[in-house]
Structure 1
Amino acid sequence: MGTAWGIAAAGRRTRTRLAAALALLLTLTVLVAGHGSLTPAAAAPLAAPAASPLEAPVARNEPNPAYVVKPGITFNHPFRNGQRGKIHRKIVKTLKNVPAGGQVRVITWNFDSPYLAHKFIAAHERGVSVQIIMSRGLARSQGGNLARSYPMMLRAFARGNKDRPPELRSWIRTCKQTCRGKRGSMHSKLMLVNRSGATNWIVMQGSGNFTGAAAVQQFNDWTTVTENQALYDGWMQMWDQATQDRNFPAMRFTTGNVTTMFAPHKREIDPALSVLNKVQCAGATNTASGRTKVRIANAVWGEARGARIARKARELDRAGCDVEIVFMMMQRHIRGILKGMRAKQMVYITGLTANKFKDRYVHMKGLAVQGNVDGRPDGNVVLSSSENWTQLGWHSDEENIIIRGDAAMTQKYVDHVDLIYREAPRKLSNYVNSADPDPDPRPDSYVDQGYLGPKDYPFHELEAELD
């Protein structure tokens, strides 16, 4: 492994020479509550080799130095064959092409996927530094069963660390409650990679945990940004804080067209309202109707926070915006605010009671605006997040990423919410609690369209199709 560690050290020396230029960029773009500047992250990418079309074929299990991580947004569809594991496949392909000496950093509320656990262990065994933080309660719930992800990786990562420098060791650990706050829970879902193939500075995040359920039961999104060193450094600063497991000030910053907002938020404006407050309903030049499209997909709405966002959505609807909402759970008073609007519940409870091996539901936590927003009649904004719109989400470890000006990403998000809305079985008037029976949840036509039928078997069997 000596060569890999030497390459990583060379990357750090290159990074030092870039520090002055990076500091200037961050001074202009970073807005961090409680911080006047943003220090570069400790991890640096390996020097990227020039890809050659004449390269020798890469062995099946070896990283491909010419592999390119595609930026953009990825969605899965839990009912459709071939689309259930799209996010997991994106994660695995990125991980597979990280070279020895590379660094992978993960924060996830839950890691419960034998499929993914084995992929991370394989990366560690070929010399990649894999470091993972997950919820303490969920880690403890897995006990010492080596068939479960946490104990499996805890044991595997302990092997092979002895001869590595500290920054290149692998581990999986938990935080007391939140990692950067005093209360709430550790609920982020993200992966940071310094290099995969020919791609550097990879930030991946979204609504999906590293679980079988995220792949086969839930509608999730996963956003990837690459080759943005300032963004990567900002997220790595958050990572460094999280590893200390103590309270830190709220952290928000902008690099180019990407804005990041990490919770706990303290006294900051709500990420969703930071977008919706800048929407004008008329005068859109990039929609056929001239009306601004607002597409919202957030799993859980609750308390005063959920009500504030609901009132803003209703205000925009009444002002003439084209508003459409899909969700999973919503308190009664918030459903009352949205009464009469186009809002549907995407929950399929298959069987007489809720069953964790069967239920299908929307788990996304974001929105998209296409039209008159941010003072632009042709504006495009996507908010992708780990955050439910509740008070718990406000106080917990969460991440939000807002991308402006990406028309293709916005259109893809709009189309996906439209698809979920068309397929969602319930309106506000026939809302069902997540634990209530739903004796006939799926039209027969869904079988003809190749949707996954309910079966009583564990996640790892569903995951078998992903490999």
Structure 2
Amino acid sequence: MSALLVAVTLLVAGHGTLAPAQAAPTTPAVVRLPAANKPNPAYVVKPGITFNHPFRDGQRGKIHRKIVKTLKNVPAGGRVRVITWNFDSPYLARKFIAAHERGVSVQIIMSRGLARSQGGNLARSYPMMMRAFARGDADRPAELKSWIRTCKQTCRGKKGSMHSKLMLVDHSGASNWIVMQGSGNFTGAAAVQQFNDWTTVTENQALYDGWMHMWDQATQDRNFPALRFTTGNITTMFAPHKREVDPALSVLNKVQCLGATNTASGRTKVRIANAVWGEARGARIARKARQLDRQGCDVEIVFMMMQRHIRGILKGMRAKQMVYITGLTANKFKDRYVHMKGLAVQGNVDGRTDGNVVLSSSENWTQLGWHSDEENIIIRDDAAMTAKYVAHVDLIYREAPRTLSNYVNSADPDPDPRPDRYHDQGYLGPKDYPFHELEAELD
């Protein structure tokens, strides 16, 4: 209870009233299910960080499988809330529709431009779910209705892009107050083409209520102040940041390079995996990484896209581009690349010589990311999670095919937020998107 009071105090003092979550929602009419398909009340959602690996059998769909298992065990009357830049996965769309049909309230927000690009083709996720959610909603109270919708540009700001990737669930099986977020969109490509991470926190009502407060703001589609709060060892920072400190620098500025007591060398390990670095913001973070490298930190970086002047700042450092181009030219449906957007520090950080910090995020290090709808979750003093993140970045670094000197332009789509951009260019057109190929092993 004390953690909840702390979170409420922080939110009310800085950004308005927190709307507490409801523990016992009204149960709507439900569909009778075969025993094999019924939610398991004993299922436990495992907290921690999950990684997928696009090259390895059984590991490509790990994040999607975790989402689906959590969703499958939400009982009738439960609430599921999703925000994702892109939802383009028939596999996941069917799972969310099935949850709605058994009485779960499913509400989803995605990018307007990408939703429009799907048109009215019922093979595509947005029109498919819009039509399915409308069925069975008439007899439900407003708070338990299901829907999928978009925001004008950002949901909580005046400019930028709706770029978050998160799922909030009030309860699944025996687990409550579930916050899930990370770098992966709800697409087949996120499962089998990209290196992504997905962080799960459970049984933390204060954190859940804080994120639901953000959700309530997002549904209003208007400008809100920057929002951040801390509960226990977890700090949440939601964009748009405005004059707030950069999430990445809020961690890196507290690093001391020597005197670590939890690394074999005594040097602090800094592991960075952020897909896109650009403009002045990306340069600021790169200069800090360079400074830490020169001060003796053990710094390692993997990325996907980076402007030339930022590559110049990092020249000579251990920084590698994880982009596998499968043909002679880039192909956004075939290439494999790192899509993570975070970092980990193991060593002398936050005033502790045995410190551990993980930043898990949906945010690229660009000016667009600064103004967009993005979420950052900073978890401190979790040694197991930090060690897992460090090991995963080391793995990607070993497998990455390109150094700064043989950088290539990536196949990742241009994150231009203008609504007509994708529609006019036919971005992810229904005749082009290889649904069956990308999702064959997930179903």
- The answer to whether TM tops 0.5 is yes
Equivalent residues in 2 for 1:73-88, closer than 5 Å:
73-88=49-64
Q: Count matched residues.
A: 439
Contact 1:259-1:401 at 8 Å conserved across structures: yes
Aligned CA distance change for structure 1 residues 436 and 242 (closer, same or farther; 3 Å): closer
Contact 1:98-1:196 at 8 Å conserved across structures: yes
- Structure 1 or 2, whichever has the larger Rg, is 1
Contact 1:219-1:362 at 8 Å conserved across structures: yes
Q: Which moved more, 1:411-420 or 1:453-462?
A: 453-462
- Residues 148-177 of structure 1 deviation map (CA, whole Å, 9 limit, x = unaligned): 000000000000001101100000000000
Q: CA deviation at 1:368?
A: 0.1
- The partner residue of 2:17 within 26, 37, 62 is 37
Q: CA deviation at 1:438?
A: 19
Contact 1:84-1:215 at 8 Å conserved across structures: yes
Q: Which moved more, 1:110-119 or 1:30-39?
A: 30-39
Partner of 2:358: 382
Q: CA deviation at 1:59?
A: 2.5
Partner of 1:48: 27
Q: CA deviation at 1:38?
A: 3.4
Aligned CA distance change for structure 1 residues 357 and 177 (closer, same or farther; 3 Å): same
Contact 1:354-1:437 at 8 Å conserved across structures: no
Q: CA deviation at 1:26?
A: 2.9
- Residues 29-54 of structure 1 deviation map (CA, whole Å, 9 limit, x = unaligned): 63678426534246767x99999xxx
Q: CA deviation at 1:349?
A: 1.0
In structure 1, C-alpha distance between the alignment counterparts of 2:137 and 2:430, rounded to whole Å: 42
Partner of 1:371: 347
- Residues 378-404 of structure 1 deviation map (CA, whole Å, 9 limit, x = unaligned): 000000000000000000000000000
SS of the aligned residue for 2:91 comes to helix
In structure 2, C-alpha distance between the alignment counterparts of 1:155 and 1:133, rounded to whole Å: 15
Q: CA deviation at 1:271?
A: 0.1
Aligned CA distance change for structure 1 residues 138 and 447 (closer, same or farther; 3 Å): closer
Flag structure 1 segments of 5+ consecutive residues without an equivalent. 1-21, 52-57
- Residues 255-304 of structure 1 deviation map (CA, whole Å, 9 limit, x = unaligned): 00000000000100000000000000011000000000000000000000
Contact 1:100-1:126 at 8 Å conserved across structures: yes
Matched, 1:202 2:178: yes
Contact 2:47-2:199 at 8 Å conserved across structures: yes
Contact 2:359-2:379 at 8 Å conserved across structures: yes
Q: CA deviation at 1:434?
A: 1.5
Contact 1:109-1:189 at 8 Å conserved across structures: yes
In structure 1, C-alpha distance between the alignment counterparts of 2:170 and 2:413, rounded to whole Å: 46
- The partner residue of 2:134 within 158, 166, 188 is 158
Aligned CA distance change for structure 1 residues 27 and 91 (closer, same or farther; 3 Å): closer
Contact 1:283-1:291 at 8 Å conserved across structures: yes
What is the Cα-based RMSD across aligned positions, in Å? Answer: 6.7
Q: CA deviation at 1:347?
A: 0.4
Flag structure 2 segments of 5+ consecutive residues without an equivalent. none
Quick one: percent identity of the two aligned structures? Answer: 91
Q: CA deviation at 1:460?
A: 2.9
Aligned CA distance change for structure 1 residues 77 and 203 (closer, same or farther; 3 Å): same
Aligned CA distance change for structure 1 residues 444 and 129 (closer, same or farther; 3 Å): closer
- Residues 293-322 of structure 1 deviation map (CA, whole Å, 9 limit, x = unaligned): 000000000000000000000000000000
Aligned CA distance change for structure 1 residues 108 and 32 (closer, same or farther; 3 Å): farther
SS of the aligned residue for 1:34 comes to helix
Contact 2:273-2:343 at 8 Å conserved across structures: yes
- Residues 340-384 of structure 1 deviation map (CA, whole Å, 9 limit, x = unaligned): 000000001111221122100000000000000000000000000
SS of the aligned residue for 1:341 comes to coil
Aligned CA distance change for structure 1 residues 459 and 24 (closer, same or farther; 3 Å): closer
Contact 1:32-1:250 at 8 Å conserved across structures: no
Q: CA deviation at 1:462?
A: 2.8
Aligned CA distance change for structure 1 residues 142 and 316 (closer, same or farther; 3 Å): same
TM-score by length of 1: 0.87
Contact 1:352-1:439 at 8 Å conserved across structures: no
Contact 2:234-2:378 at 8 Å conserved across structures: yes
SS of the aligned residue for 1:37 comes to coil
Q: CA deviation at 1:463?
A: 1.3
SS of the aligned residue for 1:261 comes to strand
Aligned CA distance change for structure 1 residues 441 and 239 (closer, same or farther; 3 Å): closer
Equivalent residues in 2 for 1:165-314, closer than 5 Å:
165-314=141-290
